[in-house]
């Protein structure tokens, strides 16, 4: 029972809490800081990449003796997340085209944009949540699972701001905007619980789940965090932030291993 409580509390804190914090920051500043967002996204991408490379993948390889399971499932997780996001994008564009009252600068459009973005974030948080659940299943209640969850929480902060800002400009109250942002983090909890239960079946199932979750995180790094960071601020400082995030991840992971 303790691991389940740990997963629920951890994902609520970092998944729901990270998005809620982003929504709160949006109410305080009323606008995003492109440079600040770019640095945070880049730093988080480096940290997340390090977790996949030096924690999740080695753990999956150790669990399965098959050389091909991990790379195949990494690609599978990447493709599943990619297709899910393609479906989200297609649904959003279809809704925009089918709306005869669509206006790029209208208040109704701003409200719709915030809600649609919240739904998109909610859907893609499901496979990302797998990373936390599978890590707990593989290593128990430990430092590595907390590190994975904190990283996901960091990447949720700018997403929470992106959800809340159009709602606030549309006239929504601060509490409502923060609530919408926070609710989009609920699938992180569901994904983590699914990853945990699948991982408990046997070592091969756990290796598959870890690899698929790792592939989902690689998609987030290379198709979402880094492109968005570059779009918001085309600077070498953003690249440095990625390297610093990766280096911090190495320090945290291997200092923990060294201590034990």
* pLDDT tens digits, one per residue of 11-35: 999 999 999 999 999 888 766 678 9
Question: In angstroms, what is the C-alpha Rg of the chain?
Answer: 18
Sort residue 99 into left (φ over 0), alpha (ψ -120 to 50) or beta: beta
* Per-residue confidence (pLDDT) for residue 200, from 0 to 100: 83
Measured CA to CA, the distance from residue 222 to residue 213 in angstroms comes to: 14
Where do runs of H (alpha helix) occur along the chain? 2-11, 17-29, 34-51, 57-63, 69-98, 107-139, 143-169, 174-183, 186-199, 203-219, 226-232, 236-259
Confidence band of 105 (pLDDT split at 50, 70, 90): very low
**Closest to 177 in 3D by CA, of 252, 105, 94, 113:** 113
Q: Summarize the confidence of residues 82-103 as an average pLDDT.
A: 63
pLDDT value at 64 more than 60? yes
* pLDDT tens digits, one per residue of 186-234: 999 999 999 899 888 888 888 998 899 899 889 989 988 899 899 989 9
Give me the chain's average pLDDT, please.
Answer: 83
* Per-residue confidence (pLDDT) for residue 109, from 0 to 100: 58
Structure-token pair, residue 231: 């779009």
pLDDT value at 110 more than 70? no
Measured CA to CA, the distance from residue 23 to residue 13 in angstroms comes to: 14
* pLDDT tens digits, one per residue of 162-195: 888 888 877 788 899 999 999 999 999 999 999 8
Q: How far apart are the first and last CA of the chain?
A: 26
- CB atoms under 10 Å from CB of 106, counted, come to 12
Give pTM, 2 decimals: 0.76
Measured CA to CA, the distance from residue 129 to residue 195 in angstroms comes to: 8
pLDDT value at 104 more than 60? no
Are the beta carbons of 136 and 196 closer than 8 angstroms?
yes
């Amino acid at each position: 029972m303790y691991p389940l409580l740990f997963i629920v509390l951890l994902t609520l804190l970092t998944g729901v809490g990270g998005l809620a914090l982003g929504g709160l920051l949006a109410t305080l500043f009323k606008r995003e800081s492109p440079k600040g967002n770019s640095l945070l996204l880049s730093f988080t991408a480096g940290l997340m990449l390090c977790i996949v490379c030096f924690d999740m993948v080695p753990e999956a390889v150790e669990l399965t003796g098959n050389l091909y399971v991990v790379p195949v499932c990494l690609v599978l997780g990447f493709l599943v997340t990619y297709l899910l996001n393609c479906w989200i994008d297609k649904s959003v564009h279809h809704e925009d085209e089918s709306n005869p009252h669509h206006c790029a600068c209208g208040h109704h459009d701003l409200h719709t944009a915030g809600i649609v973005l919240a739904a998109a974030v909610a859907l893609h948080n499901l496979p990302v949540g797998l990373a936390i659940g599978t890590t707990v299943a593989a290593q128990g209640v430990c430092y590595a699972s907390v590190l994975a969850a904190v990283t996901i929480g960091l990447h949720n902060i700018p997403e929470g701001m992106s959800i809340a800002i159009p709602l606030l400009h549309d006239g929504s109250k601060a509490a409502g905007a923060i609530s919408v942002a926070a609710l989009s983090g609920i699938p992180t909890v569901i994904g983590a619980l699914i990853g945990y239960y699948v991982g408990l079946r046997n070592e091969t199932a756990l290796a598959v789940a870890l690899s698929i979750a790792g592939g989902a995180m690689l998609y987030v790094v290379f198709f979402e965090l880094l492109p968005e960071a570059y779009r918001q601020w085309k600077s070498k400082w953003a690249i440095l932030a990625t390297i610093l995030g990766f280096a911090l991840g190495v320090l945290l992971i291997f200092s923990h291993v060294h201590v034990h």
